[in-house]
Amino acid sequence: MPLNKLVRFCNLYNYSLDFVVGFVRHNTNYNKSIKLDKDKIGRRLKEIRTKLHLTQQELSDKCNIFQSTYNHYEKGYSLIKIMPIYSICKTYNISMDYLVGRSNNMYINGTKVKN
């Protein structure tokens, strides 16, 4: 499923992305509807990568993404696909809702990244 359709589904039914993809067990009434913004997602990807003290190559290697493809996501040239965003979020315990701009809570359940 493309990311934009998943976000529309979550917006329609007031679900958190983290709930729908299985990162959390319970959905709280989530009513923040957004439109995807490639630039905002790119800025948040860079922010996370910087906080983790990783290069683009290191992050992309760990998450099985081509570095050039990851660079396009981070620069906002293209919208990140569902599998790469899932891989990044799962690997680093990052909220998918945060990455797409639906939440200001960076970490899943408030748990910081294990490095």
Is residue 14 domain-resident?
yes
Is residue 115 domain-resident?
no
Is residue 36 domain-resident?
yes
User: In the chain, how many domains are there?
Assistant: 1
pLDDT band at 115 (very low <50, low <70, confident <90, very high): very low
What are 9-60's pLDDT values in tens digits?
998 888 999 999 999 988 776 667 788 999 999 999 999 999 999 999 999 9
Q: Which domain holds residue 12?
A: 3-110
Is residue 16 domain-resident?
yes
Q: Which CATH number is 90's domain given?
A: 1.10.260.40
**DSSP notation for 23-80:** SSS------------HHHHHHHHHHHHHHTT--HHHHHHHTT--HHHHHHHHHTSSPP
